[in-house]
Amino acid sequence: MSHPLPCLIQVECYNFPTKHLPPFRSTFHSSLMNYLKYHALGNDYLVLDPKGGSELPVKEAIVRICHRNFGLGSDGILYGPLETEKADFGLRILNPDGSEAEKSGNGLRIFARYLYDTGAVKNDAFTVDTLGGVVTCQIADGAESITVDMGEVHFGIAPTPADGSEQSGPNIGQSLSFNGKTQTVYVADIGNPHCVLLQDEISAKQAHEDGALIEVHEAFPNRTNVQFLKVIDRSNIQIEIWERGAGYTLASGSSSSAAAAVAHRIGLCDRDITVHMPGGKIAIHIDDNFAIRMTGPATRVASMNFDEEAFGFKVEG
């Protein structure tokens, strides 16, 4: 039985450090909470089902639970299924810094796989309500392939012009200054914000150094996801990703969607694009209205319980 969709609130940014993590007293019985861990091309999430009375952890608890060394370790928590009038299932997506994400392509594939594994869905298409809009998911090939209709990509500048307009021409790039240099960036939104930088060569080092600065750039008051894009040919691109609220990420469905849409919008790629990431590949199809259909895998990893003792451990350093 599904549970009511709680009010979605914006949580302040918390830069989760690897040291000086304070202890705190838990207000919920996390040791009774079972987390199902999945990954989508190395981008891993913990699924927390509210069935049985499991509450959504508070921000400080999310930070500790997701911590790679002092918790279970993940790129976030998927809280659902929840009851909603807008779709078959409701879902909340929490980043490892405790903030809330509007949408996650990989998170949606993982959530779809969880629903399939628990018998909530089969091979028929179903809908999921997220903070970034309603999406349609479908399972195929015995859950080896999961397709998500991510919605339409909108292009524009950051911040949006006062008249609410959007750049309509193919040259949608704009200049952004960061880290002592100025580069052309492409801003895209697919229910969550993205900043794409077209490069001749890309690297994880660049994502760490420049991505972290662009995420919190003053041009993006709500922060942004960042993709470093290399076009291989008209059907293949490669990206490195810095994810808002999570940092460097091996793969991302919404980042793949945004980067592929930009590559197609500026005329460098066709409508069907394979996105290559450190964690693997995702297939993207772009229609005439820049609606994105994303197809890729999701893999079950483990069933895990979090012990409340971990909350009381003070990290020194």
Q: Whole-angstrom Cα distance, residue 317 to residue 289?
A: 51
Distances, alpha carbon 5 to alpha carbons 10, 61, 126, 190, in Å: 15, 20, 17, 22
203 and 255 part of one domain: yes
162 class by beta-carbon count within 10 Å (0-12 exposed, 13-18 middle, 19+ buried): exposed
207 and 237 part of one domain: yes
Residue with tokens 């994502």: 207
157 and 131 part of one domain: no
Tell me if 28 is assigned to some domain. yes
CB-CB contact of 298 with 40 (8 Å): yes
127 and 169 part of one domain: no
Tell me the per-residue pLDDT of 105-160, one tens digit each, with 9 for 90 and over: 999 999 999 999 999 999 999 999 999 999 999 999 888 899 999 999 999 865 44
160 and 278 part of one domain: yes
159 and 95 part of one domain: no
51 and 68 part of one domain: yes
Most confident of 22-36, 43-57, 86-100, 302-316: 86-100
Q: Whole-angstrom Cα distance, residue 43 to residue 252?
A: 7
- The number of domains in the chain is 2
Tell me if 76 is assigned to some domain. yes
Dihedral of the alpha carbons of 114, 118, 120, 126, in degrees to the nearest 10? 20
pLDDT at 15 over 80: no
Give the torsion sign (CA, 1, 75, 145, 261): positive
51 and 85 part of one domain: yes
pLDDT at 18 over 50: no
193 and 247 part of one domain: yes
Tell me if 236 is assigned to some domain. yes
Coil/strand/helix, residue 308: helix
Provide the CATH number for the domain around residue 247.
3.10.310.10
pLDDT of the residue at 21 = 54
- Paired tokens of 128: 């999921």
Dihedral of the alpha carbons of 104, 256, 127, 137, in degrees to the nearest 10? -120
Distances, alpha carbon 19 to alpha carbons 67, 69, 313, 317, in Å: 11, 10, 11, 5
199 and 128 part of one domain: no
Tell me if 317 is assigned to some domain. no
pLDDT of the residue at 222 = 93
- Residue range(s) defining the domain that contains residue 96: 21-144+299-312
303 and 284 part of one domain: no
- DSSP conformation class of 210: I
Q: Whole-angstrom Cα distance, residue 209 to residue 223?
A: 16
Tell me if 4 is assigned to some domain. no
pTM given for the model: 0.85
Tell me if 49 is assigned to some domain. yes
Tell me if 127 is assigned to some domain. yes
Tell me if 6 is assigned to some domain. no
Average pLDDT over residues 164-181: 73
270 and 164 part of one domain: yes
